[in-house]
Amino acid sequence: MTKKYLGQRITRNEDPRMLTGQALFVDDVEIPGMLHAAFLRSDYAHARILSIDVSAACNRPGVVAVYTAEDMGDFWKPGPLLVPAPRGIEGAFFHARTQIPMARDKVRHVGEPMAVVIGESRYLAEDALADIVVDLEPLEAVADLERALDPDAPLVHDDMESNLGSFVPQRKGDYEAAREQADLVIQRRIVIDRGAAAAMENRVLVAHWDAKSQEMTIWDTTQAPIPLRNGLAGMLGLAEHQVRVIAPFIGGAFGPKIMMFQPEEVLLPWATMKLNRPIKWIEDRRENFVATTQERGQIHDAESALTKDGHILGVKDVFLHDSGAYDPYGLTVPLNSQNHVMGCYDIPSYYSELKMVFTNKMIVTPVRGAGRPQGIFVIERLLDIAAKELDIDRAELRRRNNLQPDAFPHNHKIIDQAFAEFVIDSGNYPATLARALDMIEYEKFIKEEQPALRAEGRHVGIGVVAFIETTGVGPYEGARVTIEASGKVSVATGVGTQGQGHFTAFAQIVADQLGVDVRDVHVVTGDTAHFHWGTGTFASRGAVVAANAINAAAKGVRVKVLKLASKVLGAPEEELELADGMVRVADIPDQSIGLGELAVLANPMRGAVEPGSEPGLEATDYFGPQYGATANGTHAMILEVDVETMMVEIKRYVVVEDCGTIINPLILEGQVHGGVSLGIGNSYYEQLVYDDNGQLLNGSFMDYLIPRSTDMPPRIEIGHEVTPSPLNPLGTKGAGEAGAIPVPSLFAQAVEDALYDYDLEVLEMPLSPNRLFELCYQKGS
């Protein structure tokens, strides 16, 4: 097989449709007779519901129905626990308290739905929200992560003894013994606050029950159409084949769109069956800030023990993880944090306690990075502080502790998000680090440029941090590849797509296997009518799990093509080649047949398909990795701080990325750029500010600051290292989240370096100019 496309900078198949406004997004779906939903959401973070009177709303012209939890009867149920807790960790516990479709007895976060109005237009439905009279008894809110565990703290869930939702202690080796031997022990408290995923497209849903055909069609901005279909069919008492979930083009997701079953996802399908009319709900931006899941809030009490020459003997980390009001996503996020503290380093002993805490805030589920940025922040900060204390160069300290290329597979010996021991498959960490240092000209900057700049009174700092990213977790994905009579190839897979270039990257793999033009491969994702099995797009797994399933299916078709062509062309299979949409006998170009023609022969109108064979040139296959692949990288940046205003300007940004085999460098670079921009947001711009009552104070794009074009570095320079994963035939590792993961750690280090004369230690994220001003000029606040 010639690899004409794999690894090439192929422009995207899907772009012409997107660029001309012809790509279907959920809000573009218009169905005659469609109704529109608007949700009445709690303004309180914690309150008891005494009564809800919807009569006036029901009487408003244009309102078709108003529902509260009462109306839902037996259909009202807490959602399923999406990810169960890992078993077999001694001393660990987990209490599942999953979200509910509408609040019944009390509300547990601002934005929790209490009623839904369904009307002839969204405008009218919003009018009717003002007619609903709700009598609430406000309760003290659990807003502060630490105070939530006070013995006298109010309870988010009344049936629990405390707000501690889960406790997971993990240990490797004997940290206390390591501490005894250490020359240096560093102890710090590290605080990381919440941010939003803030995809440009909010969540949108259209549910259409067709009573005559007895079919439910749901267009949903979900990352996981198949599990959603399966779950909804169960809830609604329908067969799976009666429910079709379509996730068409999705306007960015970044994690929260994997969350299910969102209250709206449960209510609309139920209501469309009751009303027998299609219903659309468009989440507006205000709702997105209070009704879509968030991430990152953690407090770590972290400690590292080192020798005087900078070797880590052990790390200890006791941390609180803010789960928000419910915990439907299990422990994925905090387990990732717990794992990533080990990073790309050889850490002989580790003791970590994860405490997941319920608060009266929006639910936490993965947001691009999914707990990993916090873990990396902890270890990288500990290393930076050690470097200063020991007077060892930051890069050198990392080099000394890096896992070496011959260390793989390396078992970190704690349980990871896949509930197995955290094993790193492959990598070359010293090479990535060295390359990044080289690209940013670290030595030259430190020795020549920085002293000169400092002499001028300028505050320009450099940072360099290394990170890993666990990617490509199971369980599996599948795909069906078909050569059609036109000679074009269609591919169907169960994952959804939200901008990752699946229509091109997947097509490249198939085009190489079948020798066709990449533009002749038509990929369908995210439609349960096209493929029945699968999980979804999350955890940087598309290019690993789905791509390998597609590769396997394409190989299956290739086998069929060769077998049939061998018969038709009268030549042994070994002598056949697939190129230009044809099967040719090598060296005899006119002895050939087009794939389309072959497809017709494989699906004859007369005669018989031979026993033991199947009609058509089609194959379906699956891929499930033994365990997840681990990508890695090093980021470096140079930034300048104006010490009068505390405004920061990033002057250079270097990424060296190792995600194994690269399918399409153009798309990969795009993924990295986007990740870095979110990371810059997480470092300096984006913070969800809650007050003591659990009220979000900046729930708009005016006050929640997403980086703009002018906030980004002039250029993100990217270098690639390629260490293929041995865990899958393509050798790929995921890259979707990588860009975001190390940025806060990097930013902290570079800011400290820039403000070398301010005795600054950054132990929190995100920062802001105001916060930097406080840290530099108002010590102690």
Partner 1 sequence: MSNLKTITVTVNGKHYTRDVEPRLLLSDFIRHHLGLTGTHVGCEHGVCGTCTVLFDGESVRSCLMFAVQSDGHEVTTVESLGDIDNLHPLQEAFMEAHAVQCGFCTSGFLMSLIPFLEENPDPTEEEIRDALAGNLCRCTGYQHIVDAVKLAAENMAVQS
Partner 2 sequence: MKPAAFDYYAPSTTEEALAYLDQFGYDAKPLAGGQSLIPTMNFRLAQPSVLVDLNPIVDLSYIRPHEDGGLLLGAMTRASQVERDPLVAERAPLVHETMPSIAHPQIRNRSTMGGTMAHADPAAELPAVAIALNAQFRIRGQAGDRWVSVDEFFLGMFMTVIEPSELLVEVRLPPMPPRSGWCFREIARRHGDYALVGVAAMVTLDGGNQCDQARLVFLSVEDRPVPARRAAEMLQGQTPTAEAIQAAAETAATEDIDPGSDIHASASYRRQLAKVLARQALTQAFARARGVA
Q: Does 254 bind partner 1 (CB under 8 A)?
A: yes
Which residues, 6 or more positions from 123, have their beta carbon under 8 angstroms from its beta carbon?
Answer: none
Please select the residue that binds partner 2; options are 649, 697, 759, 779, rule is CB under 8 A. Answer: 697
Provide the minimum distance between the beta carbon of 80 and partner 2 in the complex, in angstroms, as a whole number.
31
The tokens of 663 are what? Answer: 């399918």
Q: Does 60 bind partner 2 (CB under 8 A)?
A: no
State the binding partner of 93 from partner 2, partner 1, none, CB within 5 to 8 A by kind: none
Q: Does 712 bind partner 2 (CB under 8 A)?
A: no
Instruction: Candidates 169-177, 223-231, 399-407, 707-715: pick the segment binding partner 2 (CB under 8 A).
Output: 707-715
Site string for partner 1, 185-204 (x = CB under 8 A): -------------xxxxx--
State the binding partner of 777 from partner 1, partner 2, none, CB within 5 to 8 A by kind: partner 2
Q: How far is the C-alpha of 562 from the C-alpha of 84, rounded, in Å? A: 45
Please select the residue that binds partner 1; options are 7, 23, 155, 230, rule is CB under 8 A. Answer: 23
The tokens of 517 are what? Answer: 């033009």
Instruction: Candidates 20-28, 311-319, 349-357, 511-519: pick the segment binding partner 1 (CB under 8 A).
Output: 20-28
Listed in order, strand segments (DSSP E) in 436-484 are 460-471, 477-483
State the binding partner of 452 from partner 2, partner 1, none, CB within 5 to 8 A by kind: none
Residue 540's CB is within 10 A of a number of other CB atoms, namely 30
The tokens of 421 are what? Answer: 């021991």
Instruction: Candidates 59-67, 72-80, 628-636, 694-702: pick the segment binding partner 2 (CB under 8 A).
Output: 694-702
Site residues (CB under 8 A) for partner 2, limited to 108-137:
122-123, 126-127
Q: Does 123 bind partner 1 (CB under 8 A)?
A: yes
The tokens of 121 are what? Answer: 């237009």
Q: 127 or 322, CB closer to partner 2?
A: 127
Please select the residue that binds partner 1; options are 214, 714, 757, 779, rule is CB under 8 A. Answer: 714
Q: Write the DSSP string, 480-527.
A: EEEE-TTS-EEEEES---SSS-HHHHHHHHHHHHHT--GGGEEEEESB
Sign of the torsion angle spanned by Cα atoms 320, 324, 325, 327: negative
Provide the minimum distance between the beta carbon of 583 and partner 1 in the complex, in angstroms, as a whole number.
29
* β partners of residue 186: 304
Q: How far is the C-alpha of 533 from the C-alpha of 395, rounded, in Å? A: 46
Q: Does 43 bind partner 2 (CB under 8 A)?
A: no
Pairing of strands 279-282, 349-358: unpaired
CB 512 within 8 A of CB 5: yes
Instruction: Candidates 229-237, 282-290, 547-555, 596-604: pick the segment binding partner 2 (CB under 8 A).
Output: 282-290
Q: Does 519 bind partner 1 (CB under 8 A)?
A: no
Please select the residue that binds partner 2; options are 3, 77, 286, 519, rule is CB under 8 A. Answer: 286
The tokens of 717 are what? Answer: 């320079």
Provide the minimum distance between the beta carbon of 735 and partner 1 in the complex, in angstroms, as a whole number.
13
Helix (H), strand (E) at residue 598? helix 595-601
State the binding partner of 514 from partner 2, partner 1, none, CB within 5 to 8 A by kind: none
Q: Does 574 bind partner 2 (CB under 8 A)?
A: no
Please select the residue that binds partner 2; options are 407, 705, 720, 761, rule is CB under 8 A. Answer: 705
Provide the minimum distance between the beta carbon of 702 and partner 2 in the complex, in angstroms, as a whole number.
8
CB 69 within 8 A of CB 103: yes
Site residues (CB under 8 A) for partner 2, limited to 442-461:
none
Instruction: Candidates 153-161, 264-272, 510-518, 700-708: pick the segment binding partner 2 (CB under 8 A).
Output: 700-708
CA gyration radius, the chain: 27
The tokens of 73 are what? Answer: 């009867």
Exposure string over 105-118, b if 16+ CB within 10 A, otherwise e? ebbbbbbbbbbbbb
Q: Can you tell me whether residue 757 is helix, strand or coil?
A: helix
Provide the minimum distance between the beta carbon of 248 and partner 1 in the complex, in angstroms, as a whole number.
11
